[in-house]
Structure 1
Amino acid sequence: MINRTMRRLARLLAIGLAFPAMQPVAAQDTGPDAPPINDRGQWLPSSVPTSDDVLRIPVPADYNAPKGSFVLVGGRLFDGTGAAARPATIVVQGKRITAILKPGEQAWPADAVVYDVTGKTVMPGLIDLHTHLTYVEKFDAGFQDAINSGADSAMRAVSRMGIFLQSGVTSVRDVASAGDVPFVLKRWQASGRIAGPRIFAAGQLITATGGHGDGLGTAPENPLGTVRLASGPDQWREAVRLQFRQGADLIKLASEYSQAEIDAAVDEAHSLGLPVTVDAETRYIDMAIKAGVDSIEHPLPRSDAAIALMAKRKIASVPTLVPYRIIQRNSGGYFGSTSRRFELNETTIVEMMRKMKKAGIKMGVGTDLVTDWIDYMPGAYIDELRAFVEVGFSPREALVAATKTSAEILRMADRLGTIEPGKLADIIVVDGNPDEDLNALERVTTAFVNGRLMLKDGRVHPPAHVEKPMPKR
């Protein structure tokens, strides 16, 4: 009996369960390399036009393309590739950039609209990889009604879309919003009927009973809910399929989960051609790495071995230091959360980001502005960029992370993130030199999304109504 007890204790000690103060077992490089995402477009010749999202669905050649052309003359171009800014003229026809001209060259359509941007910087639109467009504004007596109202959720999202646009953000990755709202808004924005950034939607956050996100007060089967609860591998696969059916561009998972559950969800998402990102911490990050996820959100605790494996397997990160700074400064700490049972403060989050940079992990920019925190824009986004500078990026490199690198994490680098011929015309004009002084991003004067003017003189520029002739007798 004593020998059996001693053997059991030895096993517990070996896996780090005997004493809570012990470090969790570090991630081991025993799992397979990240399973590849099924390239569902491999059967399409390059000549076949596809939708401007991760799904790459065949569409007509002029799909969602505006008419006409425009030119930006007299400004300095920061193209997002990492190259130094230079004087240049940018030519756009329809929704695509067609030429980058040297100053003085005039090779554009005669009927093109010419914008004089002398003294300003032209650059790719910023990307925010971690947003929740429909999140409630506050947790008060009426928050439950707000959560369960699709109309209320949509109006909150539209309001936030305008603020993002005014801040120079032309693409957002929505990583959990209410029901079908983000998908409806994605279609309306893409067709030019409402002004705002492009939306790359994950749909509902998938988590387990008691997992992170469970507790927002929505019933497990509520179609208007932000969270989808799942239990067991089969339900996790089904939850992924439900988001795909809606039109998801990616899948968002959250701990806590079993290894079998996250394995099933990642396998299902990748088979459908969708990348997977997770909100996870400690041992759940180890499990996510083993499952082969594509990116990991937040600066939450993980072992040095896990960081090394992330770098080896090219798993990206979206650090999101801003929300934790807001929580720390407003509340003094992250309290009352069963999924945040560890030390989390301004020092730990910067140190985690610094470790990931040192390891060579690809990092994009996300703000995770929930409740009424959208009111901190554009300062919140600029603060996130300053965090990149704090851990060793130059201002120019931080802007590349906000554009080119974030587009790569979106799996949209062939169309977004830089200003180059052939790319989609998501362009902002800044009064100043943001590649030298990030504070210049407080002065975004103009924004084009998909070649459409959506911000003019710093104000949201809604699409004008085009009269349709009455039918003739």
Structure 2
Amino acid sequence: MVTTSRCLLTLALLSASVCAAQERLYDRKQWLDSTTVVSDDPRHVPVAPGQRGPEGWLVLKGGRVFDGTGAAAVDANVVIEGNRISAVLPASSTQWPSQAQVIDVSGRTVMPGLIDLHTHLSYSEPDTPSEEADDDAAAALRGAERLRYFLESGVTTVRDVGGQGAVPFVLKRWVAQNRIPGPRIFAAGQLITGTGGHGAEGLRPSCHGASNGRTREASGPDDWREAVREQFKRGADLIKLASHYSRDEVRAAIDEAHSLGLKVTVDAETQYIQWAVEAGVDSVEHPLPRTPETIRLMASRKVDSVPTLVPYIYIFDLDGGYFDSTSRRFSFSKAANLALFRQMKQAGIRMGVGTDLVTDWFRYLPQSYITELQQFVAGGYTVPQALVAATRTSAQILGMDDKLGTLQPGKLADVIVLDGRPDERLEDLKKLRLAIRDGHVVLQDGRIVSTPHVPRPEPVPSREQSK
């Protein structure tokens, strides 16, 4: 009997060990050496060596540098070479190449570009004509417009967590190639949910597994795996899941994503949050209800949170509540949401910044982003801590903190310059003067910078043609 009990205990421990291993993100970086150049996204795809960003050096001289690490702002000079930060020098130092372009930012605050972890670039607005709501061309143009709003608000990185078909991936490529202005994009692709789940209620054409829709309905563990693979095939940087789902379905989707090296975030509520946390999810979106046990489990398993308090402020202020949705069958309020935020902070859960500006709310920017940060402060953060959440912490949640989120040598040059002191007064985030993305100046004096095209010479006729 004792021997049998020991065997059963050993089998249980081995099973738990295997499950725990499956829950963790597969670290594909272990196969890369320092000489392999990879894409600047979580996919880590090898790319050909060559010039990254503009040629030459750019110096931001004489600014007050808030570097996003948590340290207090100091007077310093930021040196950029190509698309990387080369050095952060003392204010008295001029150790940069003589041919560098120097921009005097004296009296202004220099800091990492802001990150928004919860956007939907291609979503329609209330006045969008019905024939354009699910049209890819119209969705791409809507995304291009939103990108400009974010960039003009100091946001140099967005995470698109549910978009129209392939549109988010096309926008990502065009921004990366400097063909359209905007923040760098990390895209999840379609939202994956169970049949009739969040984002798939009703009979809209964009639901029911349509390949070009915003939502991919899945049924059964194998189909949830296939839905994850479809987003990966398109170029997903992460996977976004939404309740409802079964335990087996969410476990299969998370296991598949982690095997592919992608993080998973979930839009879920009540028991579905706990099921996702038990299955190994990386982060949870929104301030939706969950039990104290689930909060403790999130903290112990280091599951992150993107609370997105601001959209629910708008929902309650504009509509009085969240109505007519089977995925919102619970009572909640602005006060309850802030209370949940405080509980998560007290538990030690890492939280990043996302705004979830659906419908036409992106037109409130930059105030909506500032309001989200003000909610962090109301929930117990200091102003500098809120800015760190918007930069370094959000980069950590992206899995990109080795390249983004702080002004340190070797990091990607995503930098903003503002009048005032946003680390003391969040309202000063409205005073954006300069934005740099990937080493390129993309906004100057508050206006989007468009690089003039370089005309190609016309083709010269061959000898045969000229005869």
Given the two structures, how large is their TM-score scaled by the length of structure 1? 0.91
Q: CA deviation at 1:127?
A: 0.2
1:255 aligns with 2:246: no
Which shows bigger deviation, 102-111 or 194-203?
Answer: 102-111
One-letter identity of the residue aligned with 1:297: E
Which residue matches 2:139? 153
1:38 partner amino acid: Y
Please name the residue that 1:183 is paired with.
169
Q: Distance in 1 between matches of 2:22 and 2:356?
A: 26
What is the CA distance between 1:291 and its match in structure 2?
A: 0.6
What is residue 123 of structure 2 aligned with on the other side? 135
Displacement of 1:336 in angstroms is: 1.1
| Equivalent residue number for residue 279 of structure 2 | 291
Note the C-alpha offset of 1:426. Answer: 0.1
Asked whether the equivalents of residues 33 and 313 of structure 1 are also in contact (C-alpha less than 8 Å), the reply is: no
Query: Greater shift after overlay, 176-185 or 459-468?
Result: 459-468
SS in 2 for 1:74: strand
Secondary structure of the structure 2 residue equivalent to 1:99:
strand
After superposition, give the CA deviation of every residue in 1:137-172 in whole Å (9 maximum; x if it has no partner). 1166x33x2232111000000000000000000000
Q: Gaps (5+ residues) in structure 1?
A: 1-30
The percentage of counterpart residues that share the same residue type is 56
Alignment-derived partner of residue 443 in structure 1: 431
Residue 394 of structure 1 is matched in structure 2 by: 382
Give the partner amino acid of 2:243: S
Report the counterpart of residue 168 of structure 1 in structure 2.
154
Aligned to 1:277: 265
1:210 corresponds in structure 2 to 196
Q: CA deviation at 1:63?
A: 5.6
Tell me the secondary structure at the aligned position of residue 118 of structure 2.
Answer: strand
User: What is the DSSP-based 3-state SS (H/G/I as helix, E as strand, rest coil) of the residue aligned with 1:228?
Assistant: strand
Aligned residue for 1:3?
A: none
SS in 2 for 1:285: helix
2:344 is the alignment partner of 1:356? yes
The structure-2 alpha-carbon separation of the partners of 1:448 and 1:350, relative to structure 1 and needing over 3 Å to count, comes to same
**CA positional deviation for 1:32:** 4.0
Assess if the C-alpha contact under 8 Å between 2:198 and 2:243 holds in 1.
yes
Is 1:419 the equivalent of 2:426? Answer: no
Counterpart Cα distance in 2 of 1:93 and 1:227? 41
Q: Given residue 453 of structure 1, which amino acid in structure 2 is its aligned partner?
A: V
Q: What SS does the aligned partner of 1:195 have?
A: coil
Give the whole-Å Cα distance in 1 for the aligned partners of 2:51 and 2:164: 27
Counterpart Cα distance in 2 of 1:448 and 1:84: 22
2:308 aligned partner: 320
CA deviation after TM superposition for structure 1 residue 100, in Å: 0.8
For 1:139 and 1:283, the matched residues in 2 are separated by 36
| Superposition deviation, residue 33 in structure 1 | 7.3
1:41 Cα offset (Å): 2.7
Aligned match of 1:37: 25
- Indicate conservation of the 8 Å contact 1:147/1:225, yes or no: no
Match of 1:59 among 39, 42, 47: 47
Is the Cα–Cα contact under 8 Å of residues 110 and 417 in structure 2 kept in the other structure?
Answer: yes
In 1, the alpha carbon distance for the partners of 2:342 and 2:154 equals: 26
1:34 and 1:315, CA in 2 relative to 1: closer, same or farther beyond 3 A?
Answer: farther
Determine the C-alpha separation between the residues in 2 that align with 1:181 and 1:274: 20
The equivalent residue for 2:367 is 379
Q: Which residue of 2 aligns with 1:365?
A: 353
SS at match of 1:239: helix
> 1:193 is matched with which residue?
179
8 Å CA contact 2:305, 2:352 repeated in 1: yes
User: CA 1:319 to 1:173, structure 2 compared with 1: closer, same or farther past 3 Å?
Assistant: same
Contact 1:69/1:94 (8 A) holds in 2: yes
Deviation digits for residues 257-298 of structure 1 (CA, Å, limit 9, x no counterpart): 000100000000000000000000000011001110000000
Provide the rounded CA distance (Å) in 1 between the counterparts of 2:326 and 2:127.
18
Secondary structure in structure 2 of the residue aligned to 1:41: helix
- Cα deviation for residue 412 of structure 1 reads 0.1
2:13 maps to: none
1:409 partnered with 2:400: no
Look up the match of 1:237. 225
Using the size of structure 2 for normalisation, the TM-score is 0.92
Paired residues of 2:207 and 2:214 also in contact (CA < 8 A): no
Q: 1:94 to 1:43 in 2, by over 3 A?
A: same
Q: Report the equivalent of 1:79.
A: 67
Q: CA RMSD in A?
A: 1.3
Cα displacement string for residues 64-93 of structure 1 (whole angstroms, at most 9, x for unaligned residues): 422222100011000000000000000001
Q: Secondary structure at the match of 1:223?
A: coil
**2:78 aligned residue (90, 105, 114):** 90
User: Does the 8 Å CA contact 2:113/2:405 hold for their aligned counterparts?
Assistant: yes
2:255 equivalent in structure 1? 267
Structure-1 separation of matches of 2:185 and 2:51: 17
Deviations 1:199-238 (A, max 9, x none): 0000000001110000354242422201001000011000
Q: Which residue of 2 aligns with 1:110?
A: 98
Counterpart CA distance in 1 for 2:454 and 2:22 is 49
1:33–1:288 distance in 2 versus 1, CA, 3 Å: farther
Letter in 1 for 2:168: P
What is the correspondence of 1:301-320 to structure 2 with a 5 Å cutoff? 301-320=289-308
Deviations 1:378-405 (Å, cap 9, x if unpaired)? 0000000001101111000000000000
Identify the structure with the greater helix proportion. Answer: 2
Rate the CA distance shift 1:361–1:459 in 2: closer, same or farther, 3 A. same
Partners of 1:134 and 1:188 in 2: CA distance? 15
Native 8 Å contact 1:195 1:463 kept in 2: no
Q: SS state of the match for residue 390, structure 2? A: helix
Letter in 2 for 1:158: A
* Paired position in structure 1 for 2:108: 120
What code does the residue aligned with 2:74 have? R
Question: Do the aligned partners of residues 277 and 433 (structure 1) sit closer, same or farther apart at CA in structure 2, a change above 3 Å counting?
Answer: same
Cα displacement string for residues 326-356 of structure 1 (whole angstroms, at most 9, x for unaligned residues): 0000011111111111112110100010000
Q: Which runs of 5 or more residues in structure 2 are unaligned?
A: 1-18, 462-467
Contact kept? 2:134, 2:205, Cα under 8 Å? no
Q: Is the 8 A contact 2:413 2:439 kept in 1?
A: yes
Query: Hey, what's the Cα distance between the residues in 2 that align with 1:247 and 1:234?
Result: 20
Structure 2 Cα separation of the partners of residues 317 and 62 of structure 1 = 37
User: What does residue 12 of structure 2 align with?
Assistant: none
